[in-house]
């Protein structure tokens, strides 16, 4: 094993994450769900959403930009709506509180939505998507972030990375899931390039003058770019609207203003939509869900890779062999325990 990495079992990674979070003041109701999100990222080969995010959480806790002991509160809403006020805490505990009600209302009404308000969000959306698809429901999720991203044709940050996630339950095996930022790449990937002293590809970002750059530091100080030009930009604007003003929460620009230079994790809202196939199809749901399998087969039989396939393959390996953490990251995190 290379000295550049530290080998850990998933249980060791989980305990390590819990210890770091607790050491920096995060209270017990939040420690497990927040740690589990990072372990899931590491387990699935998503290093930018793995234990690296502990550095982000430690900084956010130190900056006082998350309530470490927040108690999320369920709020009254319309029959097909669930609202949870995270009360300034991380989104994970609020999501866990609201999920059973979201599932129950979706089962009863065919479709329902959950708004999580006043939360700090640092992670990928696919762990939440998988939690919904585990109930046999189709799922979508959206959340703004900080204003790090220039709209197509612009050079100044206005949008967040603004991920869109979708999940489709399958009768056997893993769900069909995609989760991607509306930027050319997740911000965490640029951060990892900065830490490693590696250049970034062209098209990921521009410098403070709006010029294309391959320097990670310059892109982080300037603006990230959306994928697909005006198409990604329009989708990013959609996320701003439906997970911001629509649910009474912040846009990415407002989140960055709230941050006030602390460089902590984004603060705002998240929208989760769940759909029960039986709500449309009744007893015929199983038949039509099986028809969807022909679509997936049509993709894979011609050599296409389903979204998240690589992640699921990494999961199988990690469950058996554990994970490798860059030693420099491990030492930084271990030092934070002193």
Q: Give the Å distances, CA to CA, from 58 to 43, 91, 93, 246.
A: 21, 16, 18, 31
CA 129 to chain CA centroid, Å, is 10
> Do 72 and 79 form a contact (C-beta atoms < 8 A)?
no
Report residue 144 as tokens: 């703004």
> Do 193 and 199 form a contact (C-beta atoms < 8 A)?
yes
Provide the 8-state DSSP code for 182. Answer: S
Residue 150, C-beta contacts closer than 8 angstroms, at least 6 positions apart:
156, 157, 158, 159, 206, 210, 223, 224, 225, 226
Report CA Rg, the chain: 20
Q: Which of 48, 96, 174, 258 is catalytic?
A: 48
Nearest to 237 by CA among 319, 153, 321, 317: 153
**What's the CA gap between 130 and 40, in Å, rounded?**
11
Report residue 163 as tokens: 């991920």
Taking the CA atoms of residue 241, residue 149, residue 50 and residue 272 in that order, the dihedral angle to the nearest 10 degrees is 10
Q: Is 135 left (phi over 0), alpha (psi -120 to 50) or beta?
A: alpha
> Do 137 and 275 form a contact (C-beta atoms < 8 A)?
yes
> Do 65 and 32 form a contact (C-beta atoms < 8 A)?
no
Q: Which of 49, 121, 146, 193 is catalytic?
A: 49
> Do 161 and 145 form a contact (C-beta atoms < 8 A)?
yes
* 49 catalytically annotated: yes
**What's the CA gap between 219 and 92, in Å, rounded?**
29
Q: Which of 42, 128, 189, 270 is catalytic?
A: 189
How many beta carbons lie within 10 A of that of residue 330, not counting itself?
16
Annotated active-site positions, please? 48-49, 189
């Amino acid at each position: 094993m290379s000295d550049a990495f530290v080998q850990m079992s998933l249980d060791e990674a989980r305990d390590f994450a819990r210890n770091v979070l607790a050491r920096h003041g995060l209270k017990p109701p939040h420690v497990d769900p927040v740690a589990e999100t990072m372990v899931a990222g590491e387990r699935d080969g998503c290093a930018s959403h793995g234990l690296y995010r502990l550095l982000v959480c430690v900084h956010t806790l130190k900056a006082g930009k998350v309530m470490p002991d927040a108690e999320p509160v369920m709020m009254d809403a319309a029959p097909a709506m669930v609202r949870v006020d995270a009360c300034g805490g991380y989104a994970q505990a609020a999501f866990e509180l609201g999920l059973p009600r979201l599932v129950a209302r979706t089962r009863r009404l065919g479709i329902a939505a959950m708004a999580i308000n006043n939360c700090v969000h640092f992670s990928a959306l696919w762990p939440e998507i998988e939690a919904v698809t585990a109930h046999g429901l189709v799922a979508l999720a959206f959340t703004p972030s900080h204003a790090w991203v220039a709209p197509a044709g612009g050079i100044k940050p206005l949008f967040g990375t603004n991920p869109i996630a979708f999940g489709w339950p399958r009768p056997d095996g893993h769900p069909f899931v995609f989760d991607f930022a509306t930027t050319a790449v997740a911000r965490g990937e640029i951060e990892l390039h900065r830490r490693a002293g590696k250049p970034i590809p062209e098209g990921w970002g521009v410098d403070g003058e709006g010029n294309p750059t391959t320097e990670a530091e310059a892109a982080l100080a300037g603006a990230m770019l959306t994928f697909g030009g005006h198409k990604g930009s329009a989708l990013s604007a959609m996320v701003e609207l439906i997970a911001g003003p629509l649910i009474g929460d912040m846009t990415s620009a407002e989140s960055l203003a709230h941050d006030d230079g602390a460089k902590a994790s984004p603060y705002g809202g998240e929208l989760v939509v769940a759909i029960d196939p039986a709500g449309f199809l009744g007893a015929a749901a199983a038949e039509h869900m099986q028809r969807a399998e022909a679509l997936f087969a049509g993709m894979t039989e011609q050599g296409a890779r389903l979204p998240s396939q690589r992640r699921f393959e990494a999961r199988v390996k990690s469950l058996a062999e554990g994970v490798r953490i860059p030693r420099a990251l491990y030492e930084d995190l271990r030092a934070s325990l002193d």
